[in-house]
Amino acid sequence: MCRPSLEDQTQEKIANLIKIAAEDYEEGQKLKIVIIGINKVGSELIHLVHDIAKRCGIHRIKPAPLDTTIELISKGEEKLNIKISDHEGIFKETGGDYWLTQLVCQAICLSKNITQTAPTKAELALDIPALRAKVTDRLDHAYSEPVIEFCRGNRFRSTNDPYLKLLKCVSEQESSIVDLTELANAHPDVRGSINNVKEKRLAILIDSKPICERYFYYNPATKHFAIEDPALFYFMKHLNWDDLRKKCGFRAGDREFDFDFAISFAGENRPLARAIKAQLETLDFSVFFDELFEANYLGQAWHKTFMDIFSDKSRFVVCLLDKFHLEKIWPTFERECFVPRVPEAAVIPIYLDNSSFPGISKDIVGIKFSPDGVPQEDIQNKITDEIIYKLAARIESI
């Protein structure tokens, strides 16, 4: 079974074997390689080796067409001596998936206590709302746990819900296989959440939780996300997402933020900012760090983007304050955006020297940090002890 979590090197080895098999077959040898279970997300392996795409293909098991679905339902009706009112309605509900069609028909029968052949012809109406509730309840025992574990992320926090927002948005699509970059661009209300997790955090979540890896597929290189179990997708499409949010333990906040932290810094302090960003991401925090999001904001003005992020879309602003931050144009602009948030305790200063800043009084509790005299191999530990732990505790205190 080829899964999207396979490393490119492994996929390339498989692709080379397929190419060799195809060449041997052309020379008269009946040698084939058949990979069972390859999904659309993983299909890029046939493009990893030059000249392979035209030698092989992917053969998908397609859902049943309308006439086959009607035939399947009719055979069941004959055996049970029943008549379901709307065959086409069932087909529209299940998309022709064989297993889901059978489950839906079973739910219709059970709603009328039909468990064996009826002594007289029974007419069964198709009640879509009642049907969806019954089927979703039936699937809950199988799919509730993986959905909740996915939504809670790699490190649960009651305010850390981008995975829930992503999954809910996917459930609202026609297809269960989506390009997350396209999805983010098409849905501004969840763009920040999707962009926050699609580079690294989503892959880490799926890799770290076997129950998520079993049901959810993601290729961070192509940004393709897939739910290939039709029953799981059906379950998600008809979930009560407000109830799910409560089950996950998320708190409803007065404001929605795209980022837990946005880091403001002068270019001279980029290495320190990058180290802070990396450690916060390890703890599954969403962090705005300019170079991570350049591709997401192509075609947009940095001026407008930075104003939104530092003034409104970040829960906290972490500012690395020193003489460079005071003198440089962009850090000064960022300061103008986030200084109005100082009274709401949303600005966390990290003081790198004794520079004074308008709007940021000396009595604001911040973090004093200096790497002077610290061996290079101990810098990361110093950042962890003096900065990261304190930032994490600040989030947890909300």
CA of 242: how far to CAs of 49, 141, 147, 193, 197, in Å?
46, 18, 14, 18, 22
Q: What is the mean pLDDT of residues 376-382?
A: 91
Q: In sequence order, what DSSP letters do the residues of 183-197 get, joined into one string?
A: HHHH-HHHHHHHHHH
47/80 same-domain check: no
* CA-based nearest residue to 344, from 359, 324, 329: 359
pLDDT at residue 4 in the model: 44
Chosen domain end from 229, 248, 267: 248
13 lies in which domain range? 8-55
277/390 same-domain check: yes
197/72 same-domain check: no
Percent of the chain with pLDDT over 70: 84
Q: Which residues contact 153 (CB under 8 A, 6 or more apart)?
A: 160, 162, 163, 201, 205, 284
Is there a domain that residue 1 lies in? Answer: no
Q: What is the mean pLDDT of residues 193-211?
A: 90
Is there a domain that residue 39 lies in? Answer: yes
309/383 same-domain check: yes
323/207 same-domain check: no
Is there a domain that residue 335 lies in? Answer: yes
335/385 same-domain check: yes
What's 364's domain CATH number? 3.40.50.10140
Q: Looking at residue 63, what DSSP letter applies?
A: P
Is there a domain that residue 38 lies in? Answer: yes
Is there a domain that residue 82 lies in? Answer: yes
106/151 same-domain check: no
Is there a domain that residue 179 lies in? Answer: yes
Counted domains in the chain: 4
Chosen domain end from 219, 248, 277: 248
Contacts 24+ apart (CB under 8 A), 335-343: 335/264, 335/359, 335/360, 337/306, 337/307, 337/310, 337/311, 338/262, 338/264, 338/310, 338/311, 340/311, 341/311, 341/317
- Do residues 206 and 213 make contact, with C-beta atoms less than 8 angstroms apart? yes
Please state, in angstroms and rounded to a whole number, the distance separating the CA atoms of residues 43 and 70.
Answer: 32
163/86 same-domain check: no
The sign of the dihedral angle between the CA atoms of 315, 320, 323, 327 is negative
Q: Which residue has the higher pLDDT, 276 or 256?
A: 276
291/228 same-domain check: no
Q: Which residues contact 234 (CB under 8 A, 6 or more apart)?
A: 94, 100, 135, 136, 139
Q: How confident is the model at residue 51 (pLDDT cuts 50, 70, 90)?
A: low
336/389 same-domain check: yes
CA of 269: how far to CAs of 44, 55, 274, in Å?
39, 52, 9
pLDDT at residue 298 in the model: 53
State which amino acid sits at residue 312: D
Instruction: Give the number of C-alpha atoms closer than 13 A to the C-alpha of residue 381, restricted to the C-beta side.
Output: 5
Is there a domain that residue 363 lies in? Answer: yes
Which tens digits make up the pLDDT trace of 53-83? 566 666 667 889 999 999 999 999 999 999 9
Which tens digits make up the pLDDT trace of 215-249? 999 999 899 999 988 999 999 999 999 999 999 99
90/211 same-domain check: no
Please state, in angstroms and rounded to a whole number, the distance separating the CA atoms of residues 136 and 237.
Answer: 9
Please state, in angstroms and rounded to a whole number, the distance separating the CA atoms of residues 64 and 221.
Answer: 32
Q: Which residue has the higher pLDDT, 68 or 32?
A: 68
Q: How confident is the model at residue 155 (pLDDT cuts 50, 70, 90)?
A: confident
Instruction: Assess whether pLDDT exceeds 90 at residue 35.
Output: no
The per-residue pLDDT of the chain, averaged, comes to: 86
pLDDT at residue 3 in the model: 44
Is there a domain that residue 60 lies in? Answer: no
- Do residues 394 and 348 make contact, with C-beta atoms less than 8 angstroms apart? yes
Please state, in angstroms and rounded to a whole number, the distance separating the CA atoms of residues 8 and 47.
Answer: 11
16/118 same-domain check: no
What is the distance in angstroms between the CA of the first residue and the CA of the last residue of the chain? 44
